[in-house]
Chains A and B, each alone.
Chain A
Amino acid sequence: MRVIAEADVKKDARNRVTLPVADFEHYHVMAYEDGHLELYPRVLTDPLISQLTLRMIDTSMANIEAGNTSAPADPEALLKALGE
């Protein structure tokens, strides 16, 4: 694999180093006994949402824009009725 950047870096007071190239947001870091480190880029899993939930949010948002929501919810009454 071709080297595209190279730099000498120094830890700062908080043990941080600046990477010369960091195209990814997240890295998996492996530290070896001899002191060398390896970084592997990580891409977080794309979260999923159900179609029904998305439609529920679509409708709720349209109603909020029109100033239409429920009356204030009272969680204490619900939990009391449930004996919690």
Chain B
Amino acid sequence: MQFEIRMGVPEMKELWDRLQEGASAGTLGGEDRELAVKLGKAVRHLGSDPFHPGLQSHEINDLTRRYKRKVFQSYLENNTPGAGRLFWTYGPDQRHITIVGLEPHPDDGKNAAYKRLKLSDLPPVPPARPPGDVRKDSRRRKKQVHDDEEQR
């Protein structure tokens, strides 16, 4: 069964668009190019068979419980310690798969290890913003990181 692969809005979509534009223009740097190749191949496999052996797809129960819908993880590489991971879910419609996250996050820097959480110890899901709330995600994210650091 062929699935239609979609990207989560906004961050996965922005990443995908950036990689696609960079690939077309031939302007992708080394790491971005490597990520684009791995992501492109993983998305190709995901579309034809979400449980392709190379993806090692499996459900992540802690995330399934958090979002009350099945969330799966697939690997971007095989036999590589610290391999990139994709998080995806079925939907929004039948025969659709939406990629909702990427680990490591593209913005994770050298201090990424200090900003990691145990899957079994996740904070509650933040409340959904009401329609018309146009605050930028980055501002909210910075405030949250600041709050987290203060709590520590």
- Which of A's residues lie within 8 Å of B, judged by CB? 46-65, 67-73, 75-79, 81-82, 84
Contacts and interface: CB of A to CB of B under 8 A. Distances in A.
Q: Chain B interface residue count: which class?
A: 35 or more
A57 B87 contact: yes
B119 A72 contact: no
A53 B103 contact: yes
B13 interface: yes
CB-CB nearest 7 A-B residue pairs: A60-B8, A60-B100, A52-B105, A81-B23, A70-B7, A70-B13, A57-B101
A64 B41 contact: no
Interface of A is mostly: helix
A79 to B, nearest CB: 4
A56 B105 contact: yes
Contacts of A76: 44
A75 B8 contact: no
B19 A78 contact: yes
Contacts of B12: 56, 60, 70
A70 B128 contact: no
Given A50-B108, A82-B28, 10 more contacts: A50-B112, A53-B105, A56-B100, A57-B63, A59-B8, A69-B7, A73-B6, A81-B20, A82-B33, A82-B36
